[in-house]
Amino acid sequence: MASAAAAALKTVIVPPAAGGMPSATVFLLHGLGDTAQGWLDVARMLGRDQALQHIRFVLPTAPVRPITLNMGMKMTGWFDVFSLLSLDREEDEAGLLESVSAVRSLIQQEVDGSAPGLNGHAVPLNRIVVAGFSQGGAVSLLLGVTNKEPLAGVAALSSWLPLHKKVASMRSSTSTFPIFQAHGTQDQIVDFSFGQMTHDRLQNELGFGSKAEWHEYAMPHSACPAEIHDLGRWLQRVVPI
């Protein structure tokens, strides 16, 4: 069960640019210390693409919590961070699973048609993508690979797969789905090698093979126009009109 704070995630919704009801939904999860507003322009830009105007974008904001890495300062975060020095570091498993549960609740509302703005119109799971940046990407990957049924796809930008030592045992299904993974070669926060190791694990240990795409860009811990363009092309393939 998600906590009351996580279960009641506030969202910003960008309806389909074409008008009417969506035939697909894309969730965009922000990074540490950010909010839904930080990715609103990206959602709007993607939604204006002629081939993506059937998509509804849902941007949740993470709960405020103390972050150990930042001397216990309270900020929006999908989970606590103790260190970013190694993928083998201690992780906030409880916080991760709480956020996965909270986002799953939002997904279920899309599937049920009970989410705000849907008015009973259901969006099937195979037309739902979960994407995120940094912490948001970590939650997206963990949610996707442990979900009972496959999503349309998962996108992880400048991120990593958490709980990597046990995630294989957490899977209730061996079903695979498309994954878009992107990382900056000059990332000073989430090391570039973390992304590469995650990609290798997804392809080999978790069996995603060629369904797991890897993209790299000459940038720090951020997003760039080329990356968002490539993400848009990928979305066209996994949730076409």
Residues identified as active-site: 134, 187, 221
User: Which two three-digit tokens encode residue 163?
Assistant: 């709980």
Q: Give the helix/strand (H/E) hosting 233.
A: helix 225-238
Coil vs helix vs strand at 116: coil
- Tokens (6 digits) for 190: 């989430």
Report the 10 Å Cβ neighbour count for 25.
27
For residue 149 the two structure tokens come to 């049924």
- Residues whose CB falls within 8 Å of the CB of residue 100, separated by 6 or more in sequence, listed in order: 139, 142, 143, 146
